[in-house]
């Protein structure tokens, strides 16, 4: 680890850079790495074959690594598996188009999703209750990394995300809440770029993978704002997780494997009630000061619609694996927004927080991705900068 380039409090947050790195490396990163390997958190239900609502599919992806490898049924946790008894209609066992290995048992839901709400998330475009064409993906087998997805197709998505949904007004014209939406997207973008740089195909001929520090520097580190936005996004999502402590502590992490499920519960508790986290950064982000003005409710609706559009744009990502992680992480952000702004706030005392199973999976996997990005920047940042000075 290197001396920190950034100092002071992360803008709009309540903790400083050094504390965030320290907490991340000592507490959060190790716990999250364990957590996302558990059966509950490693299977994500997702609709990968979707029509882009904005323009015809122009999917261009160079590498085989663009494809997602779905779960064969034999791999599902026990409670996800098809019951042997009666009553399954052929509709329940539809194969994914052209992908027989990805057969999905639609009856899984009534077992594995028992105890979880199906309430829509007002911040996101689609959700797990829309069952057509859903499949389960083992996230551990599909790491987010370089895929070769680039050029106009990728550029068009980012441009649409930034210019259509969070227009770049001169900074002072952006109200606090809009600035936050911009920072969340920018922080996520930084994290995606950092994952590309940390796991890059260095030599196609020999299939050599490794760090691309040049990319890390040129896409992220050169722009201090992008690094700052990454820290901001991390703290924002962390605050959502801590705010949902009661709910997340009591949730059912049931996959039919008692040993693994107890471990999941225990890891969640270690994270939620971590004394070091509570002492060093008790309030990672203070959501209470938002939406206060007269325009508050109207502004919230506007930003909700903007975020929903960003969520819909993920169906236009022309590379399957990028779409998987794009959808997961945008759902994770949408879940954080829901926790912080849609329910359980002081103004909504009567509305109880309810989360979908998939939202919790997305939230914790997103936090893990952001945590990995922070760690990589902290460990490799100075080396990447030195390398760049030398060239």
- Sites of contact with ligand FAD (CB under 6 A): 144, 146-147, 149-150, 154-155, 157-158, 186, 189-190, 192-193, 196, 219, 226, 314, 317, 321-322, 325-326
Asked if 368 and 348 touch (Cβ cutoff 8 Å), the reply is no
* Residue 147 assigned to a binding site: yes
In terms of CB distance, is 281 or 314 closer to ligand FAD? 314
Smallest distance from ligand FAD to CB 225, Å:
7
Smallest distance from ligand FAD to CB 311, Å:
11
* Residue 145 assigned to a binding site: yes
Strands 134-138 and 200-203: unpaired
Q: Which helix (H) or strand (E) holds 379?
A: helix 357-390
Kindly give the residue spans of alpha helices, DSSP state H, lying in 244-356: 245-250, 258-272, 275-280, 296-313, 320-337
Q: What is the spatial distance between Cα 217 and Cα 197, in angstroms, rounded to a whole number? A: 9
For residue 136, the SS3 value is: strand
Structure tokens at 219: 């896409």
In terms of CB distance, is 154 or 387 closer to ligand FAD? 154
* Residue 116 assigned to a binding site: no
In terms of CB distance, is 268 or 367 closer to ligand FAD? 367
Asked if 82 and 88 touch (Cβ cutoff 8 Å), the reply is yes
Q: What is the spatial distance between Cα 256 and Cα 111, in angstroms, rounded to a whole number? A: 10
List, in sequence order, every residue forming a beta bridge with 16; answer none if it has no partner. 9
Q: What is the DSSP letter of 210?
A: E
In terms of CB distance, is 314 or 337 closer to ligand FAD? 314
Smallest distance from ligand FAD to CB 150, Å:
4
Q: Which residues are catalytic?
A: 319, 322
Asked if 370 and 191 touch (Cβ cutoff 8 Å), the reply is yes
Q: What is the spatial distance between Cα 249 and Cα 271, in angstroms, rounded to a whole number? A: 10
For residue 201, the SS3 value is: strand
Smallest distance from ligand FAD to CB 85, Å:
41
Smallest distance from ligand FAD to CB 325, Å:
5
Asked if 256 and 79 touch (Cβ cutoff 8 Å), the reply is yes
In terms of CB distance, is 173 or 298 closer to ligand FAD? 173
Q: Which positions make up the binding site for FAD?
A: 145, 147, 158, 186, 189, 219
Q: Which positions make up the binding site?
A: 145, 147, 158, 186, 189, 219
């Amino acid at each position: 680890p290197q001396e920190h380039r950034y100092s002071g409090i992360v803008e709009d947050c309540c903790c400083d850079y050094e504390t965030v790195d320290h907490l991340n490396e000592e507490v959060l990163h190790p716990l999250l790495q364990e957590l996302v390997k558990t059966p509950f958190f490693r299977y994500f239900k997702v609709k990968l074959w979707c029509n882009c609502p904005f323009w015809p599919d122009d999917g261009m992806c160079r590498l085989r690594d663009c494809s997602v490898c779905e779960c064969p049924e034999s791999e599902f946790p026990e409670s996800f598996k098809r019951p042997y008894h009666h009553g399954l209609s052929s509709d329940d066992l539809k194969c994914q188009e052209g992908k027989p290995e990805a057969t999905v048992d639609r009856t899984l839901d009534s077992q594995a999703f028992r105890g979880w709400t199906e309430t829509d998330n007002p911040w996101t475009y689609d959700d797990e209750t829309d069952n057509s064409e859903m499949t389960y993906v083992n996230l551990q087998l599909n790491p987010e990394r370089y895929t070769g997805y680039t050029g106009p197709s990728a550029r068009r998505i980012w441009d649409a995300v930034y210019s259509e949904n969070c227009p770049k007004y001169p900074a002072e014209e952006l109200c606090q809440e809009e600035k936050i939406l911009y920072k969340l997207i920018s922080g996520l973008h930084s994290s995606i770029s950092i994952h590309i740089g940390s796991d890059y195909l260095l030599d196609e001929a020999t299939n050599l993978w490794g760090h691309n520090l040049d990319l890390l520097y040129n896409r992220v580190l050169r722009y201090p704002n992008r690094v700052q936005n990454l820290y901001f996004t991390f703290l924002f999502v962390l605050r959502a997780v801590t705010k949902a402590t009661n709910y997340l502590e009591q949730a059912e992490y049931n996959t039919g494997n008692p040993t693994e499920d107890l471990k999941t519960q225990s890891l969640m508790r270690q994270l939620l009630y971590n004394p070091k986290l509570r002492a060093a950064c008790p309030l990672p982000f203070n959501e209470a000061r938002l939406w206060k003005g007269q325009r508050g409710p109207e502004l919230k609706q506007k930003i909700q619609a903007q975020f929903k559009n960003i969520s819909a744009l993920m169906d236009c990502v022309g590379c399957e694996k990028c779409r998987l992680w794009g959808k997961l992480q945008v759902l994770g952000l949408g879940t954080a927004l829901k926790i912080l702004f849609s329910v359980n706030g002081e103004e909504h005392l009567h509305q109880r927080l309810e989360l979908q199973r998939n939202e919790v999976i997305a939230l914790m996997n997103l936090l893990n991705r952001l945590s990995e990005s922070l760690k990589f920047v902290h460990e490799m940042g100075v080396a990447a900068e030195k390398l760049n000075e030398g060239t």
